[in-house]
């Protein structure tokens, strides 16, 4: 596992990227949101143009999925609709790289930065380390894709990859969570904690 994780990190090339192997992209997304205390009473924005797992994880945690439609002539969530959907209850945004084609990460990050005053982290949780909504990329289909010359996995705080049998790289089952925060100490802590949590 450590060898594969290291190879993923080297391939992605993020400054502080740390990859953690899990049993699926679904598990990767659910465990990080749970770890970051996303749950009942919270809202998580995502796209309706995705596999059901993206929304199921939000519901499993007791949070409310808020669906934002895709851009015209695109399969990707519309950042302008994200801007309008963010409320004081919004804790995370999950984008989806559809069919291996990356979303416009910079547009989404710009929206999240502009709306950072609307982010109210839960007290005494790791959410307090974030200045805006948690950005999670459902990149189940896009391992190997690039965005503006950089490998997918280095654009958002958290990225979930799938290695299911139908994906472009496979271990038959499996997935990975890539943690890519500007704070190396926080990245290392989350990696260590999730590694323990994932055992159970």
Is 167 one of the annotated active-site residues of the chain? yes
Stretch (H or E) spanning 23: none
Instruction: Look at residues 136, 35, 42 and name the one whose alpha carbon lies nearest to residue 88.
Output: 42
Q: How far is CA 38 from CA 31, 160, 169, in A?
A: 10, 17, 30
Q: What is the pLDDT of residues 163-188, one digit of tens each?
A: 998 888 889 889 999 999 999 999 99
Q: How does pLDDT run across 22-68, given as a tens digit for each residue?
A: 999 999 999 999 999 999 999 999 999 999 999 999 999 999 999 99
Cβ atoms of 195 and 20 within 8 Å: the answer is yes
Among the listed residues 167, 185, 189, 195, the single catalytic one is: 167
């Amino acid at each position: 596992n450590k060898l594969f994780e290291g190879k993923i990190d080297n391939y992605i090339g993020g400054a502080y990227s740390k990859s953690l192997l899990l049993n699926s992209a679904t598990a990767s997304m659910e465990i990080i949101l749970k770890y970051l205390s996303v749950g009942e009473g919270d809202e998580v924005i995502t796209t309706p143009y995705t596999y059901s797992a993206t929304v199921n994880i939000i519901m499993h945690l007791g949070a409310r999925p808020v669906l934002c439609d895709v851009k015209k002539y695109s399969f990707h969530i519309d950042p302008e609709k994200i801007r309008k959907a963010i409320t004081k209850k919004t804790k995370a945004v999950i984008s989806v790289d559809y069919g291996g084609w990356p979303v416009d990460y910079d547009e989404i990050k710009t929206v999240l930065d502009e709306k950072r005053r609307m982010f109210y982290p839960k007290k005494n949780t790791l959410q307090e380390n974030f200045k805006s909504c948690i950005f999670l990329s459902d990149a189940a289909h896009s391992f190997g894709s690039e965005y503006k010359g950089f490998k997918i996995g280095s654009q958002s705080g958290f990225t979930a990859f799938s290695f299911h049998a139908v994906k472009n790289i496979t271990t038959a089952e499996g997935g990975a969570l890539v943690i890519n925060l500007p704070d190396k100490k926080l990245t290392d802590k989350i990696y260590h904690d999730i590694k323990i949590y994932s055992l159970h």
